[in-house]
Structure 1
Amino acid sequence: MTMLFEPWKQFQHSAVRQLAFSIASPNILSNIPPELSLQHVFDLHPNGFWQQQYENYHPRLLELDQNPQPLIDFLAQLKSTRLGLRFEYLMWFWLQDDMYHHFKLIGHSIQIIQKKQTLGELDFLLFNTQTQQVEHWEVALKYYLAEANLSLPHWYGLNRTDTLQRKLNHFTQKQFQFETVQDHSIQKRFAVLKGQLYLPTIPKNILDNDYLALNIPTWVNQARNIGYWGHHIPQPNYYRLQRQEWICHDATLSSPPAYWWSNGLYKSTEKEQFYMFRQASFICLNVEQL
């Protein structure tokens, strides 16, 4: 098995680990699925881009691990508990530390309003000092569970109306529609799509890390940890991750090994294996299961 680049595990403070993950982790997709119909073209940063950003930022992360108060204070501005917004704030914190990268932040959360109608909102507008180009970034933290033949229409969020295909369509049809913002001509568009993907499991194989000989699409980024999901309770011991640990788990176990299971994300106590447990629908249960 190829060693994964997961440097965030060296840090102790939970918020710093989450920040390191937000920067260093590759996108969940390695490329745009060819079956996606592109209306407005956008790109994904390659894995090496994120590894380089982490290496540049490593000294700052070490400082924050010793004194995380600047990061804590910045995140305290966020009143929502939504993980996607927390991820956006982590990216915002990093982008403002521009002595560690080659981007100048032009604007964040820019609303595009025309005749009192809101047409859309840009997450980040940046000036790339290396290429001398203006870039539009949309950032998202997503967790998708694969079903059926693993093709693009069959990756579902915890809310089944939130599918990977729908998110990608939203990128290309709506979020990347703008060519000029605040008198800046946009030359590059990037989706920063992080989080985790989950494959359906076979109980006896959950610790094998062999992805069950499934025909995984080429656009799934296998340079990162891919989890499993299912309705059964796996062995050996797993513990339930707290909500913010979905971004990056704490350095120490945040709960005892699970005895009572409910819907949520679990991690093995023995290895870096993640499991999304979902209770089967009651209509699928038979008498023997009750």
Structure 2
Amino acid sequence: MPEPTALLFATPVDNAPWEAYHRPYVRDLAYALACPDVLTRWLEFAPHQNTPPIAVHSSEFWLAQFSAYQQRLHELDNTDAYQDLTRYLLKRPSPNRLGFHFEGLLAFWLEDGYTRGLHPYETLASNIQLYNGKQTVGELDLILYNHEDKRVEHWELAIKFFMGSYPFAPENWVGINSNDNLERKMTHMQTKQFRAVWVETENHGQVKIDKRYALIKGRFFLPMNSNDLSYFEWPDWLSSDFPMHKWCDKSDKVNLAMLDTNNLRLAHYIEWFTKREFYDNCQVKLTGFDKNSNKQPDDALPRTGLYFEGDRFIVIYPQQRDHVDNES
């Protein structure tokens, strides 16, 4: 598995629909909608739990939702309606955490889109606490009523930025926290949140869940230590149009030598979603060298953080935990 001191390179996704928007939260919202789920199907890692069936939305589903919401995205991007989105997001708990930001974006779309008749999903409840006696054991993200299919749905959300390594099974996709991987996240969802059948809502009483959906989005990274990645066989469970980039171990001197360390800009936490160009000219460019390092500048690595090198790619040196929290 990749070391947690790896560098990640996020190359632009060709024709990414979210890049058409200028205001940062609108671009994030477009990303949250248009980005497909990482999974094409749910994988069972705890069959002994007898969990009810878990589904995954198709890429076509998300493109349809994005298409239906495009006119509203244009309005948010070009009028004072943008304040509706910013106020909604900033009043939520912990808006600076990526997982909560992702939840806020989808929650806004669900409420705003339903009010405007752009989708059939009515929000019945969100962030429902699960208890074992007096102890909190989990939380359900979203309980929705699908007016088109006449059923109650439970959507569980996750935003993940994982590095992959051979043989690219779910346990081989690892996060900045090396204890966090795709298999572990899916097992947790299956054995905790998705076991719920009946839930108590504040405004709709007790409701029975009819269908469960896992929503796992984000960005994945393939290793840079092979030019052609001929050994990489795309798993059938991995969406072929999921945003895919590259990672590089800090010991890979060849690829690290290609970095223009004089052109690195320290990114703000929220730019894990989409880049904010307005920071390019108002923030001092960083050389990226760790002042505490005993190495000569030519050999030093960028200090911990998330960086941009011009517009070509994002560089993440993922050892620092206080700049970003993407647990979800």
Q: Same fold per TM (> 0.5)?
A: yes
| Correspondence 1:2-17 to 2 at 5 A | 6-17=16-27
* Structure 2 residue 191 is the aligned partner of structure 1 residue 173: yes
1:75 to 89, 113, 123: 89
Who is 2:67 aligned against? Answer: 55
SS in 2 for 1:176: helix
Deviation at 1:79, TM superposition (A): 4.8
Deviation at 1:62, TM superposition (A): 0.8
Q: Match of 1:8, as an amino acid?
A: W
* Structure 2 residue 138 is the aligned partner of structure 1 residue 120: yes
Q: Match of 2:273, as an amino acid?
A: I
* Structure 2 residue 242 is the aligned partner of structure 1 residue 242: no
Alignment CA distance shift 1:63-1:103 (3 Å)? same
Q: Match of 1:248, as an amino acid?
A: T
SS in 1 for 2:220: strand
SS in 1 for 2:126: strand
| Correspondence 1:57-206 to 2 at 5 A | 57-66=69-78, 67=80, 68-80=82-94, 81-97=96-112, 98=114, 99=116, 100-113=118-131, 115-182=133-200, 183-202=206-225, 205=227
SS in 2 for 1:161: coil
Using the TM superposition, name which of 192-201 and 110-119 deviates more: 110-119
2:303 to 249, 262, 268: 262
Q: What are the Cα deviations for residues 144-187 of structure 1, in whole angstroms up to 9, with x where unaligned?
A: 11124222222211011111111000011111011111221111
Alignment CA distance shift 1:234-1:101 (3 Å)? farther
SS in 2 for 1:22: helix
Taking structure 1 as the reference length, the TM-score comes to 0.83
Taking structure 2 as the reference length, the TM-score comes to 0.74
Q: What are the Cα deviations for residues 225-268 of structure 1, in whole angstroms up to 9, with x where unaligned?
A: 20111124263657453210101223566467764223444456
Q: Is the 8 A contact 1:198 1:276 kept in 2?
A: no
The 2-side partners of 1:234 and 1:51 are apart by: 39
Q: Is the 8 A contact 2:224 2:247 kept in 1?
A: yes
For these two proteins, the number of residue pairs brought into alignment is 270
The 1-side partners of 2:197 and 2:98 are apart by: 29
Alignment CA distance shift 1:134-1:154 (3 Å)? same
| Correspondence 1:266-285 to 2 at 5 A | 266-267=307-308, 269=310, 271=312, 273-277=313-317
Q: Is the 8 A contact 1:144 1:196 kept in 2?
A: yes
SS in 2 for 1:248: coil
The 2-side partners of 1:73 and 1:190 are apart by: 28
Q: Match of 2:31, as an amino acid?
A: F
Q: Is the 8 A contact 1:262 1:278 kept in 2?
A: no
Where in structure 2 are there 5+ consecutive unaligned residues? 1-12, 201-205, 289-301, 320-328
Q: Is the 8 A contact 1:11 1:251 kept in 2?
A: no
Who is 2:242 aligned against? Answer: 224
The 2-side partners of 1:90 and 1:105 are apart by: 14
Higher relative contact order (CA 8 A, sep 6+): 2
Deviation at 1:18, TM superposition (A): 0.5
SS in 2 for 1:224: coil
Alignment CA distance shift 1:211-1:126 (3 Å)? farther
Who is 1:45 aligned against? Answer: 57
Q: What are the Cα deviations for residues 14-67 of structure 1, in whole angstroms up to 9, with x where unaligned?
A: 111011111111012222346x34442311110001001101111111111123
Using the TM superposition, name which of 159-168 and 212-221 deviates more: 212-221
Alignment CA distance shift 1:174-1:130 (3 Å)? same
Q: What are the Cα deviations for residues 59-88 of structure 1, in whole angstroms up to 9, with x where unaligned?
A: 111111123111111111135221101111
Instruction: Output the aligned Cα RMSD.
Output: 2.5
Q: Match of 1:132, as an amino acid?
A: K
